A and B are shown apart, each in its own frame.
Chain A
Amino acid sequence: MNDKKPYLGEFENMLLLTLLQLGGKSHGSLVRQQLKDLVSRDVSIGALYATLERMENKGFIRSSLGEKTAERGGRAKRYFEVTAKGKETAKQTKKQLETLWQGVQLWSK
């Protein structure tokens, strides 16, 4: 490995891919449900927000404020979307994982 690239943790990688799958802007509740439906990962909303905040600080995602709705008790939504840096890091991580998987045989012939 040469230069220092931004590191993506396992859960961060999952969140980044979920946000990319949802496309555009998504809020926490939607991301949580998508994670549960797709990979059966039932995380608390607190853990999800803590990770999303960390990813935003690293520049992988950005957030914006949404509308206040009655079904949320008049509270505003916070939308998340992947940045160009996030997309680049996701590609990089995929490449790294593919390299590591090469030659790995888990199933007997």
Chain B
Amino acid sequence: MEQIKSPTPPTLALRLLNLSIPLHIREHLIGDLVEEFSQVKIPAEGTTKSNLWFWKQTILSSYEYLNKQRGGIMSFVLSIMIFLGLVFIAMLLGGEVSMYLDVPFLFVICVTSLAFGISATSRKTGKFAIKLLISEQDCSDTIAVKQAAHFLRVTGNTALLMGGLIAMIVLTATAQHLFQETMAKALQPGISLFCLAFLYASILKILCYVGEQRVANALITAEIKS
């Protein structure tokens, strides 16, 4: 006999709700929505209309809380956006933006830093640290929060060290070529890559530093509450 599968709300919408609704009401609010979805909407309106209704509720509710209640996270995201915007403007003023783009360098610094961050803590801690930055999480487990701060510290410091290391390699290679080619030809690409390595590393370090401070603040709040 074929078993009838009970209808479930869109997974992506549920994830969005989990990220945007404050922790103390998350369970009750989502529970109410899921109950109304399966008990009222699905029998009356079918799957497509019910899914649309669930998405509408998700977007309106997420907006309500992100806009009115979550000033801390919104200002954090806004400050990161302003910071990246200013870096972009500085690049524009310095010449063409494309000359600041070196995908292999960016990839090496970002991936290595994240890998070091995860290996120093754990994948779970890395995920928790990212979640802490973009949504309200349960901070009662102060050890987990401290580990999240440690992940951000390791990632940021690794980025800076990687930048320094690559810059030194490039500088050595440039020095080696100085005697083989003309001065200008040898110096131009080397200095450019040297600066890029530090630029990428510094950006990642700043982002991690701000994140670390935010997590440290969550820890202080949790300790005061307990």
* A interface with B by C-beta (< 8 Å): 27-29, 32-33, 44-47, 49-50, 53, 69, 71-73, 75-78
Contact = CB atoms under 8 A, between A and B. Distances in A.
Given A44-B56, A46-B64, 20 more contacts: A28-B29, A28-B32, A33-B36, A44-B60, A44-B64, A45-B57, A46-B21, A46-B29, A46-B60, A46-B63, A47-B60, A47-B61, A49-B28, A69-B35, A71-B35, A71-B39, A72-B34, A73-B30, A76-B27, A76-B28
Q: Is the interface of A mostly helix, strand, loop or mixed?
A: helix
B7 to A, nearest CB: 11
A47 B59 CA distance: 11
28 contacts: A27-B32, A28-B28, A28-B29, A29-B32, A32-B32, A32-B36, A33-B36, A44-B60, A44-B61, A46-B29, A46-B57, A46-B61, A46-B62, A46-B65, A47-B64, A49-B25, A49-B29, A50-B64, A50-B65, A71-B35, A71-B38, A72-B31, A75-B34, A76-B27, A76-B28, A76-B31, A77-B31, A77-B32
Residue of B28, B30, B36, B69 with most chain A CB atoms under a 10 A cut-off: B28
A29 B65 contact: no
Nearest to A28: B32
Which 3 pairs show the lowest CB-CB distances between chains A and B?
A46-B61, A75-B31, A44-B60
Interface of B: 21, 25, 27-36, 38-40, 56-57, 60-65, 68-69
A75 B36 contact: no
